[in-house]
Amino acid sequence: MELSRRDFAARMLGGAAALSLAGRADAEGDPGSDPLPSWNAGPAKDAIVGFVHTTTDAASASFVPVAERIATFDQDGTLWVEHPIYTQLVYCFDRLPALVKAKPELAKVEPFRTVLTGNREAIASLGLEPLIKVVAATLTGMDVDTFRDEVKKWIAEARDPRWKRPYTELVYEPQIELLKYLRSVGYRTYIVTGGGQDFVRVYAERVYGIPPEQVVGSAGGVSYQYAADGKPVLVKEPKLLLNDDNAGKPEGIHLMIGRRPHFAFGNSTGDRQMLEYTKAGGGARLAMLLLHDDGAREYAYGPAQGLPDTKVGTFTQALYDEAKKDGWTVVSMKNDWKRIFAFE
Amino acid sequence: MELSRRDFAARMLGGAAALSLAGRADAEGDPGSDPLPSWNAGPAKDAIVGFVHTTTDAASASFVPVAERIATFDQDGTLWVEHPIYTQLVYCFDRLPALVKAKPELAKVEPFRTVLTGNREAIASLGLEPLIKVVAATLTGMDVDTFRDEVKKWIAEARDPRWKRPYTELVYEPQIELLKYLRSVGYRTYIVTGGGQDFVRVYAERVYGIPPEQVVGSAGGVSYQYAADGKPVLVKEPKLLLNDDNAGKPEGIHLMIGRRPHFAFGNSTGDRQMLEYTKAGGGARLAMLLLHDDGAREYAYGPAQGLPDTKVGTFTQALYDEAKKDGWTVVSMKNDWKRIFAFE
């Protein structure tokens, strides 16, 4: 229970990622040319193309009917940047001053007082548990329409400190190509994220071409209430319905989709069960993991393969070994991706 | 809490309904002819056709983009027969002997002992609360694939006592036409039911043309586990995640779809909040309620409009009055439906 609340706090956050994607979801690619131009030739690209051919060729023994073509993608660290800290946590910290303006008494109590100083070292020394209060206070208590408007405004204005760009430009161009490629052959692409479902839904359609009903994420409860004018509203409650990380990913997939994916892509130990569940189905299934081994162009962390350890998007050696043993494809950001961001 | 557990028990059940639907989902109707031949001319049919025209004509002020065309339907009493008792409850009772064979000790304790006698009066005298144990015991404890196989087998073999037909033939032909009509103009049709999500998903695609990912229902938790052979399985737990009735319907719609419907159809007080939520959106929205006022061809119950009272699918006079006041359309089964079942 304690652990799952910590996971919740850790994941109600979000990565940092970029790319100006106006109109991106409209054109789903020209089938005549290479659908994955930002992917270098190699086993990872071959695995994708081979999987698509074997599951969509009606003459193939591994043919998958269109209705069952489900592909699930983790978001943080898989579709957009998650270092040094999940984007959704930046949002929570940025929202705090407005919250304190409305409720001044918060400024006097921890952990709000420390977070308001902006002192990163002092904030880090708090540990995760107290931050749950900040997450809960900034993500709940308002109706879902107000929350959506607040996130929409923030995501348009906020900038990642390293690239000085909106977080929605820090998405990986090879993954955008992959999403479009899969959709062009009849796969429905889903996000299955530890991040907050309502948060990701605000921009997923514009940025990834993924509509709200195809975003599965950690979800708090909402309660149906009547506003002062008598209109019904859905108010976000500090109650966790689905902790969509680790075992929660296949559990969330069952709850929200009700079908086992044929394709799953993740980047951390939080994706392990989703990939196991995907591979355990019959016929052709492709499980992929992104290894962040490119500190120059993005970030390098593991600790798999001797990469630096991290608490954000941990990719352990045990996960790496399971991938190799069970035929999952590990994608090297450094070697498999020709280009990382569209703005490069 | 007590009430919501009772609602759960009451709704983890299912209606009784019929129609042989082989291939039904394939042909979505000929736009040249009347798409609703089983509907009599009148205000209800006019409301549907008017709504479709005003929301799908690009020149209309109430035009709705395809991505936002969401239509939600209650199941029990709206799409198929729910009297005298929800079909899913019949399933629970029918499963009990097999369960007792595996766990003989159950036969000696209440309420299992009474339910096993098959004495309807004695079962009814138990009240709802003890039946939760039967519901929980028959709907949980197995992995989701085993559950699906068990329901599939039962639904193929079980027969409704009045019509002597499979329950899946007791679906309303006018509603099947309506589902197809809405889909033919770009609406995505969802079931939003108080019944069990996993139960309804087993047959919804074949019977209604509604795929698993578009079935929102009362949902128990599942837990990710490893079977003896090491394969991951999802085991159904006696833990209620979503009680998808009353306020739980708009809450479930937000969780699973993330968009407000433009069209909603129900038949009981359990659908009130879904219809309020739908109508409270901007632009053209259609909210419909089916009144069971046809004891000859189906069943008659309310207690609205002086119809007999019931505990299964209650349609109160207050709901009727709210419908009239707020511009919802009440459909009279007796007057608005030319034909009720495909087998007529």
Gap from B162 CA to chain A (nearest CA, Å): 33
Gap from B225 CA to chain A (nearest CA, Å): 9
3-state secondary structure B120-148: HHHHHHHCHHHHHHHHHHHHCCCEHHHHH
Average pLDDT over residues B293-310: 97
User: Which residues of chain A fall short of a pLDDT of 70?
Assistant: 1-32
pLDDT by residue (tens digit) across A5-23?
434 333 443 222 222 222 3
pLDDT by residue (tens digit) across B146-166?
999 999 999 999 999 999 999
Pick B256's closest partner by Cβ from A250, A256, A259.
A256
Residue B25: its pLDDT value, please? Answer: 34
Pick B259's closest partner by Cβ from A213, A222, A277.
A213
Residue B22: its pLDDT value, please? Answer: 28
B186: alpha, beta or left, given left = phi > 0 and alpha = psi -120 to 50? left
pLDDT by residue (tens digit) across B7-56?
433 344 322 222 222 233 334 445 568 999 999 999 999 999 999 999 99
CA distances to A81, A150, A238, B39, B280 from A233, rounded to whole Å, are: 33, 16, 16, 34, 9
Q: What is the pTM of this model?
A: 0.90
Distance CA A329, CA B3 (A): 49
Chain B positions touching A144 (Cβ under 8 A) are: 254
Pick B201's closest partner by Cβ from A205, A211, A258.
A258
CA distances to A116, A154, A162, A167, A340 from A159, rounded to whole Å, are: 19, 9, 9, 6, 18
Chain B positions touching A201 (Cβ under 8 A) are: 258
Distance CA B253, CA A65 (A): 27
Chain A positions touching B212 (Cβ under 8 A) are: 257-259
Distance CA A3, CA A18 (A): 31
- What is the per-residue DSSP string for A92-133? HHHHHHHHHHHSGGGGGSTTHHHHHHT-HHHHHHT-HHHHHH
Chain A positions touching B209 (Cβ under 8 A) are: none
Confidence band (pLDDT; 50, 70, 90) for B108? very high
Confidence band (pLDDT; 50, 70, 90) for B133? confident
Q: Which residues contact B49 (CB under 8 A, 6 or more apart)?
A: B36
Q: Which of A260-274, B81-95, B124-138 has the highest mean pLDDT?
A: A260-274
Q: Does A258 sit within 8 Å of B247, measured CB to CB?
A: no
* A248 DSSP β-pair partners: none
Chain A positions touching B231 (Cβ under 8 A) are: 280
Q: Does B247 sit within 8 Å of A273, measured CB to CB?
A: no
Q: Does A222 sit within 8 Å of B258, measured CB to CB?
A: no
pLDDT > 70 fraction of chain B, expressed in percent and rounded:
91
- Strands B188-196, A70-73: pairing is unpaired
Chain B positions touching A223 (Cβ under 8 A) are: 247, 251
Chain B residue with minimum CA distance to A232 = B277
- Model ipTM? 0.90
- Strands B232-242, B215-226: pairing is antiparallel
Residue A299: its pLDDT value, please? Answer: 98
Q: Which residues contact A65 (CB under 8 A, 6 or more apart)?
A: none
Please, what's the b/e burial string for A225-244 (b: 16 or more CB within 10 A of its CB; e: otherwise)?
eeeeeeebbbbbeeebbbbb
Q: Does A197 sit within 8 Å of B224, measured CB to CB?
A: no
CB B53 within 8 A of CB B183: no
pLDDT > 90 fraction of chain B, expressed in percent and rounded:
79
Chain A contact for B257 (CB, 8 A cutoff): yes
Chain B residues 220-239 within an 8 A CB cutoff of chain A: 221-224, 231-232, 234
Chain B positions touching A277 (Cβ under 8 A) are: 224, 232, 234
φ/ψ of A99, rounded to 5, equals: -65, -40
- Candidates B252, B270, B327; CA nearest to B13 is B270
Confidence band (pLDDT; 50, 70, 90) for B1? very low
Q: Does A215 sit within 8 Å of B258, measured CB to CB?
A: yes
Longest dimension (CA), chain A: 68
Chain A contact for B161 (CB, 8 A cutoff): no
Q: Does A232 sit within 8 Å of B273, measured CB to CB?
A: yes
Q: Does A223 sit within 8 Å of B276, measured CB to CB?
A: no
Chain A residue with minimum CA distance to B67 = A211
Residue A19: its pLDDT value, please? Answer: 25
Chain B contact for A219 (CB, 8 A cutoff): yes
Gap from B327 CA to chain A (nearest CA, Å): 15
Distance CA A293, CA A306 (A): 10
Q: Quote the mean pLDDT of chain A.
A: 90
pLDDT score of B59 more than 90: yes
Chain A contact for B103 (CB, 8 A cutoff): no
